């Protein structure tokens, strides 16, 4: 009996011991994770104007706290076509900064700390976006925090700022413009390097094979715990560029190597696509901002990637030697006008324009000389139809009933043979050719499981076509690259 009692007591202590440690370890979190969460950008809208206060539609349940700053945006100057003098869109300007003085469950009361009205119901705000901030203390910790909170506008010590980050010993304190402490974090010096490392992109996120096999359906596994939206290969340098929800990366293609982060995203922006100029000098990144629209970013690609402009209110796309842009049209997005652009320094020059149907989106399009006659056709996709617009503005329409319109993916093979085009429409690959003056579309079944896979990129290297394939299975984060011989496609 005593042995049985002792045995049961032992089991109880055993389970309590492990339960204690499970709870303890579960509670361990990086202070850098906490800093990122506390200062993440959150969009909001003005729902009421009451005396001198502004009431917004976010409160304590959404993570808003007393002392938080919001940037208020307003519709800015009209963007005018330099040739026709027509309105092609509006710039988004900063109007004011407000600070939260009281929070309820779903709403917050704010007061203006800089800028001025008038304000209106429905106006957009973003928490901790572009707020002047200064860091005082350890350079190593400052480097980590600034890299983490890129949506803040970091200014040198001694400059006027609304936020002041002060690091002393093991504690990071954050003060507002009235020197009131609004946040506090414990940063242990012994864990600083480990925590900072966790905030950086993991190395070896892409594991490539030593060489690219020529066999049909040979798979190169790319174990990336996030979505690849598009990929593009620089033939000369054997590099693969790819876009994720975290940022814009480059990695060795045929050889094993570490992924390198070229440009990081933060906050409410959702990356949509990217493209590279024919001479590889420029990179255009496209993001979408909820309730505001597209945001274009231009990078210069040299020995390192340098930011040229990040405030372009257009969707941008490099096609061969040209850069195209599609923006807003009055209160509607996207515009029917598509502009041919040129880059001069940090400025964009408008060269020409074309008018497209209302449903046309530059993202779901590409330019190809299918007829091999020196005239470029424009291929674009809407719902479950492929449209081909020729040089005489004649539009041919083709249905692809099996294309999954819910995934909204459209990719066009660069470097296809003359009088050929290859497009990936969600889970469908299609070749387009011209035979006896008539466009011909043929479907290719390159996916192993069309119901649970979608194409997320397509490119060509020498005699091979590479496609990126994302698993649509619930809970799966697997993305693979697959290689096919060019002769097998055509």
pLDDT digit string, tens, across residues 13-37: 434 433 433 333 333 346 788 898 8
Using the structure block, give the residue that is written with the tokens 């970013």: 297
Using the structure block, give the residue that is written with the tokens 């925590």: 195
Domains of the chain: which residue ranges?
31-199, 265-355
Is-contact 214 486, C-beta < 8 A?
A: no
For the structural domain made of 31-199, what CATH number should be given?
A: 2.40.10.410
DSSP structure class, residue 314: S
Give the other-Cβ count within 10 Å of 482's Cβ: 18
What's the pTM? 0.56
Q: What six digits make up the tokens of 144?
A: 């980590």
Beta bridge partners of 317: 324
Q: What six digits make up the tokens of 403?
A: 């294309």
Point out the least confidently predicted range of 46-50, 77-81, 193-197, 396-400.
Answer: 193-197
Segment of 217-221, 369-373, 437-441 carrying the highest mean pLDDT: 437-441
Which is more confidently placed, 126 or 292? 126
Give the other-Cβ count within 10 Å of 202's Cβ: 11
CA-based angle 338:468:284, to the nearest 5? 35
235 Cβ contact list (under 8 Å, min separation 6): 461, 462
Q: Which of 251, 143, 154 is nearest to 199 (CA)?
A: 143
Is-contact 262 250, C-beta < 8 A?
A: yes
Distance of CA 386 to the CA centre of its chain: 26
Classified as helix, coil or strand, 431 is: strand
Q: Which of 113, 8, 5, 101 is nearest to 56 (CA)?
A: 101
Q: What six digits make up the tokens of 23?
A: 């709870």
Beta bridge partners of 68: none
DSSP structure class, residue 202: P
- Interatomic CA distance for residues 261 and 310, integer angstroms: 17
CA-CA-CA-CA torsion sign (32, 33, 38, 41): positive
128 Cβ contact list (under 8 Å, min separation 6): 39, 40, 41, 42, 68, 69, 70, 149, 151, 152
- Interatomic CA distance for residues 135 and 283, integer angstroms: 31
Instruction: Give me the phi and psi of 214, to 5 degrees please.
Output: -95, -5
Number of residues in the chain: 490
- The fraction of the chain above a pLDDT of 90, given in percent, is 18
Using the structure block, give the residue that is written with the tokens 């050929």: 420
- Interatomic CA distance for residues 158 and 145, integer angstroms: 18
Classified as helix, coil or strand, 402 is: coil
Is-contact 108 55, C-beta < 8 A?
A: yes
Point out the least confidently predicted range of 13-17, 111-115, 179-183, 394-398.
Answer: 13-17
**Average confidence (pLDDT) over 319-329:** 82
- Interatomic CA distance for residues 126 and 152, integer angstroms: 11
Which is more confidently placed, 418 or 433? 433
- Interatomic CA distance for residues 306 and 198, integer angstroms: 25
**Average confidence (pLDDT) over 347-365:** 85
CA-based angle 300:302:305, to the nearest 5? 55
In the predicted model, what is the mean pLDDT of the chain? 76
Beta bridge partners of 410: 425
C-alpha radius of gyration, the chain, whole number: 26
DSSP structure class, residue 8: H
Residue 88 confidence (pLDDT): 58
Segment of 55-59, 166-170, 283-287, 443-447 carrying the highest mean pLDDT: 55-59
Is-contact 135 165, C-beta < 8 A?
A: yes
431 Cβ contact list (under 8 Å, min separation 6): 420, 421, 422, 441, 442, 444, 489, 490
Is-contact 75 125, C-beta < 8 A?
A: no
Pseudo-torsion of CA 268, 296, 466, 250, nearest 10°?
-70
Q: Is the pLDDT of residue 210 over 60?
A: no
Instruction: Give me the phi and psi of 476, to 5 degrees please.
Output: -95, 135
**Average confidence (pLDDT) over 384-409:** 74
Segment of 79-93, 246-260, 416-430 carrying the highest mean pLDDT: 416-430
Residue 474 confidence (pLDDT): 65
Point out the least confidently predicted range of 165-169, 218-222, 327-331.
Answer: 218-222
Beta bridge partners of 85: none
Report pLDDT digits (tens) over 121-165. Answer: 989 899 998 899 999 888 888 888 887 887 888 887 767 789 999
- Interatomic CA distance for residues 405 and 385, integer angstroms: 10
Residue 214 confidence (pLDDT): 32
Burial grade of 229 (CB within 10 A; 0-12, 13-18, 19 or more):
buried
Q: What six digits make up the tokens of 165?
A: 């980050």
């Amino acid at each position: 009996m005593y042995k049985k009692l002792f045995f049961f007591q032992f089991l109880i202590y055993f389970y309590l011991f492990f339960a204690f440690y499970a709870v303890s370890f579960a509670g361990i979190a990086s202070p850098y994770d906490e800093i990122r969460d506390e200062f993440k950008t959150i969009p909001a809208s003005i729902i009421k104007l009451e005396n001198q206060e502004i009431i917004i539609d976010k409160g304590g349940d959404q993570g808003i706290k007393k002392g938080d700053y919001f940037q208020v945006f307003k519709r800015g100057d009209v963007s005018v076509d330099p040739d026709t003098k027509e309105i092609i869109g509006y710039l988004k300007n900063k109007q004011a900064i407000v600070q939260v003085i009281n929070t309820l469950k779903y709403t917050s009361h704010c007061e203006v700390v800089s800028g001025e009205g008038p304000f209106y119901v429905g106006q957009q705000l973003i928490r901790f976006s572009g707020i002047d901030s200064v860091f005082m203390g350890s350079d190593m910790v400052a480097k980590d925090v600034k890299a983490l909170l890129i949506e803040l506008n970091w200014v040198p010590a001694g400059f006027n700022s609304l936020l002041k980050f002060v690091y002393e010993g093991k504690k990071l304190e954050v003060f507002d413009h009235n020197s009131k402490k609004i946040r506090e974090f414990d940063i242990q010096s012994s864990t600083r390097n480990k925590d900072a490392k966790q905030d950086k992109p993991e190395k070896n996120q892409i594991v490539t094979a030593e060489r690219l096999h020529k066999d049909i359906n040979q798979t190169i596994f790319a174990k990336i715990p996030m979505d690849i939206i598009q990929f593009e290969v620089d033939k000369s340098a054997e590099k693969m560029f790819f876009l994720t929800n975290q940022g814009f990366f480059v990695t060795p293609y045929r050889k094993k190597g570490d992924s390198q982060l070229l440009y990081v995203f933060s906050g409410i922006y959702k990356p949509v696509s990217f493209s590279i100029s024919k001479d590889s000098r420029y990179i255009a990144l496209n993001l979408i901002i909820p309730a505001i629209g597209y945001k274009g970013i231009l990078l210069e690609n040299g020995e390192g990637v340098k930011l040229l402009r990040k405030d372009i209110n257009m969707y941008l796309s490099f096609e061969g030697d040209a850069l195209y842009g599609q923006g807003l049209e009055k209160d509607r997005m996207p515009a029917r006008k598509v502009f041919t652009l040129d880059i001069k320094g940090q400025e964009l020059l408008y060269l020409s324009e074309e008018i497209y149907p209302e449903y046309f989106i530059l993202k779901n399009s590409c330019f190809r000389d299918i007829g091999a006659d020196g005239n470029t056709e424009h291929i674009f996709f809407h719902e479950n139809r492929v449209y081909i617009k020729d040089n005489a503005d004649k539009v041919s329409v083709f249905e692809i009933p099996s294309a999954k319109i819910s995934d909204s993916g459209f990719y066009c093979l660069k470097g296809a043979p003359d009088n050929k085009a290859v497009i990936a429409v969600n889970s469908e690959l299609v070749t387009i050719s011209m035979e006896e003056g008539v466009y011909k579309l043929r479907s290719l079944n390159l996916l192993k499981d069309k119901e649970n896979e979608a194409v997320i990129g397509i490119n060509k290297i020498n005699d091979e076509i590479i496609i990126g394939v994302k698993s649509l299975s619930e809970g799966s984060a697997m993305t693979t690259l697959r290689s096919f011989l060019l002769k097998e496609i055509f």
